[in-house]
Chain A
């Protein structure tokens, strides 16, 4: 939090008091929705510093925050490793952490984040239940890995231990989540792709790729091994040493046989590999598929029989936030869930945390295409107004419930994390 102190007469304390009083008043009136409820006049001098992955650190959101809420939000986009590193080692360098749930499992116990009071989260009751109870529908089976609800709550306001059941204290407010699968070039693979094991099909020798972020790559590898019928994992998100050895063994053999063309680490690398035809089947992220298609190159985000590997991110508050800054942070989170932002993210092919509010900001056709798996009636536009899909297109994988209902595992951190990373590095060096 940085605050320019242009008026020497206003002390920090009086400013905070003023802010708190204004909040009390505004909250008491209860009449305000979607508008700033903090009317401290120095709110425009407040800057909240957010950092996170490129996927949700969008300048459009920062601009809209300035417009709707009055304070400034600065965004820094980093990769997952750098985010973890920064959240752990430089707790004073950010106010809002936009991190993934598996990162939260690593970061929250360090005490650099403070839990949020769900009573202050206006739309808490409408958050998709995956993040609260873990079940999309009452009959859903909870997927393997670091399922978000397992790290969503802590015991109390000062607690660093994750609670088994929902409490009043939430670690992250979900922002975006999605179900990942393999991306393919339908024009070059030459046959229907139906299972994860197709990644290691010798027919695609020298034309396959996997992402080189160990904690995510190992999950894709596990999906492949299970699909090949080699063995079953008790929990792909928390393998035993023996399971790690076996999984890495399969991947190393494939690497030595020349199955892989490259390994990618960043979004744009995966886009370039696919667009240039160096790779025709690989682990991929949904917007990367959209980016390849935007170049006029056919690319499909192929649903597979074994299901998806899901991930989710959320906003967490830095421990050092207090007073007006903290109020602004709550204000921001309530705004985030209030619809505009959700619609913006849904239009990019992600899913937002509160669907009811987002729906109000999307046209019926948009909602039908993105969320219900219906063929688009008109052209589907990106948030920037570019045509993403022509009329008649159907989303790969279909409806929200169809995709998020078939999650096989969540991105995760294993108990044998250190061992896994060591083995993964051996695979890369092999």
Chain B
């Protein structure tokens, strides 16, 4: 072998690759390989205790032809939509207030930190705390009856879609507040003044200046909230009293019953659907351009 005939090895040509290598390795080992494994297993066969390597489409056929799948996906999408609407409303309002109405930077930081305080405890604890509050003999029902507003306990408050959505909104509103606040803080205040000078009223400024310039934050928050709700299983199980289904719960059930290939097929379908949803959102807002 004639070494001289080869092009000279220069480290500089590979710097970028070397720099990306650690992250690339981590992502390969902990993200790509597991996902590929899930895809592979989704074609396997199984019985009540074991899985058998194979190449079958049964898991997908069973999934797509089952009425339960459709009902469950629709139900999960319903949760995602409702939670998105409420978290967006709350998140945008809170961020708007902190970013534009609070003048001092110190107060802004303080208020922003206050928003994060609930995150100092486990989200399971925060979730479960709603149960004694909303229950048939819970604080809320007792208060309502004590105040004479109702004469019987309101049953829809707990173990219902209401309690599921309420808890989701409570848990995830912060994921909307943070990115929206962040993008609002970067809006050039001169633009607002310019709009006002040009004769725009408050509503017009909101619609034509602030919302378009907060789009990236809204999008990032939306991605957080939608993916979290689509993949959730524990909130739905606890807050619906095990009576409602979500895709995550369906997968969790299958895993607990050792039906790994079925769970894998379900996970692949969920992954594809969520990725498509995110892709569609990115189509609406070009996040690279906005940032």
User: Which A residues form the contact surface with B (CB < 8 A)?
Assistant: 79, 81-82, 84-85, 88, 106-107, 109-110, 206, 209, 212, 214, 255, 260-265, 272-273, 276-278, 413, 417-418, 421-422, 425-426, 428-430
Contact = CB atoms under 8 A, between A and B. Distances in A.
Given A82-B256, A277-B137, A264 B242 contact: yes
Interface stretch (B66-74, B86-94, B197-205): B66-74
Contacts of B50: 88, 110
Contacts of A430: 71
A291 B54 CA distance: 48
A212 B243 CA distance: 10
B266 to A, nearest CB: 11
B245 A429 contact: yes
B135 interface: yes
A418 B68 contact: no
Majority-rule SS of B interface residues: loop
Contacts of B67: 426
A245 B276 CA distance: 36
A414 to B, nearest CB: 9
Given A260-B241, A413-B48, A418-B48, 9 more contacts: A82-B256, A84-B49, A88-B50, A109-B49, A255-B243, A262-B240, A277-B136, A429-B68, A429-B71
Contact of B257 (A209, A214, A262, A272): A214
Nearest to A85: B258
Contact of B242 (A79, A109, A212, A276): A212
B243 A81 contact: no
8 contacts: A84-B258, A85-B256, A88-B49, A110-B50, A265-B237, A278-B158, A278-B159, A429-B250
A88 B258 contact: yes
Contacts of B138: 276
B159 A106 contact: no
Interface of B: 47-50, 66-68, 71-72, 75, 131-132, 135-138, 155, 158-159, 237, 240-245, 250, 253, 255-259
A131 B257 CA distance: 26
| Residue from A264, A429, A430 whose CB has the most chain B CB atoms within 10 Å | A429
B49 A262 contact: no
A425 B253 contact: yes
Given A85-B258, A278-B136, A418 B47 contact: yes
B258 A276 contact: no
Nearest to A273: B241
Contacts of B258: 81, 84-85, 88
Nearest to A428: B245
Nearest to A206: B155
Nearest to B48: A417
Contacts of B158: 278
Nearest to B155: A206
B243 A428 contact: yes
A214 B244 CA distance: 16
A88 B66 CA distance: 28
Given A278-B136, A429-B250, A107 B49 contact: yes
8 closest residue pairs by CB, A with B: A262-B241, A263-B242, A429-B245, A81-B256, A426-B68, A417-B48, A106-B49, A429-B68
A212 B259 CA distance: 17
Nearest to B256: A81
Most chain B C-beta atoms within 10 Å of own C-beta, residue among A110, A206, A261: A261
A151 to B, nearest CB: 14
B135 A276 contact: yes
A384 to B, nearest CB: 26
Contacts of A278: 135-136, 158-159, 241
A106 B49 CA distance: 6
Contacts of A426: 66-68
Contacts of B132: 276
B243 to A, nearest CB: 6
Given A276-B132, A276-B136, A421 B49 contact: no
Contacts of A212: 242
A82 B257 CA distance: 8
Contacts of B241: 209, 260-263, 273, 278
Contacts of B68: 425-426, 429
A262 B159 contact: yes
Nearest to A262: B241
B223 to A, nearest CB: 27
Contact of A262 (B71, B243, B259): B243
A261 B156 CA distance: 10
Contacts of B71: 429-430
B242 A262 contact: yes
Contacts of B237: 265
Contacts of A413: 48
Nearest to B258: A85
User: Among A109, A255, A276, which residue has the most Cβ atoms of chain B within 10 A?
Assistant: A276
Contacts of A106: 48-49
B159 to A, nearest CB: 5
Nearest to A418: B48
A85 B46 CA distance: 13
A84 B257 CA distance: 8
B238 to A, nearest CB: 9
A195 to B, nearest CB: 24
Nearest to A112: B49
A420 B258 CA distance: 14
A81 B259 CA distance: 11
B69 to A, nearest CB: 9
Contacts of B155: 206
A115 to B, nearest CB: 18
A84 B47 CA distance: 13
Contacts of A85: 255-256, 258
A255 B259 CA distance: 25
Contacts of B49: 84, 88, 106-107, 109-110
